[in-house]
Amino acid sequence: MFRMWILAALVLVGQLAQAAPVGGRFDSIDGGVIDLSSFRGQPVLVVNTASRCGFTKQYSGLQTLYDRYRERGLVVIAVPSNDFKQELGSAEEVKQFCELNYDLTLPMTDITPVKGAKAHPFYQAVRLETGFEPGWNFNKILIAPDGSVAGTWGSVARPLSGQITGAIEQFLP
């Protein structure tokens, strides 16, 4: 009887751990903090980015996606990272580059580690929940309104692709 109780408790703890929402707080490139919990109830697309990458042109698609769905609740967050050695030297340089070249208005974090032992807690939680870890720049993670991971895509998936917009649209009014 005691073994069955322990087993039931372990199963319940495992289910609770799987249901735990992915969250976190990022330092904003503009100063202050971007707190993912403030977007609870909305879909959030988190994308690790870099200014000197062959996929950098995806910033245009990310901005278009944000402009298209922002009024319906979508949040798109760019997370500049130098984990793949393709980011500019400072957050100020990144911000200026993105404003001048892509007219970005979507929220951006400070330069942030996204893989390995030094990864930001958000990326560590995603890896624990799904096994997904960015393998390169411009990997996309869709967080559902309940805080769970609703989808992940690699660099080659364009922000305006049907697979990404379809996944986002299911969470929008």
* Catalytically active residues, by annotation: 53
Question: What is the C-alpha separation between 104 and 162, in angstroms, rounded?
Answer: 22
Beta bridge partners of 143: 44, 149
Which residue in the block uniquely carries the two structure tokens 């278009």? Answer: 64
For the chain, how are helix, strand and coil distributed in percent, rounded to 5?
Answer: 40, 15, 45
Alpha-carbon distance values, 126 to 13, 18, 35 (Å):
18, 11, 16
Please check whether residue 151 is in contact with residue 167, taking contact to mean a CB–CB distance below 8 angstroms.
yes
Alpha-carbon distance values, 25 to 22, 90, 122 (Å):
11, 20, 8
Q: What φ, ψ does residue 149 adopt, rounded to 5°?
A: -80, 120
By CB atoms closer than 10 A (0-12, 13-18, 19+), residue 95 is middle
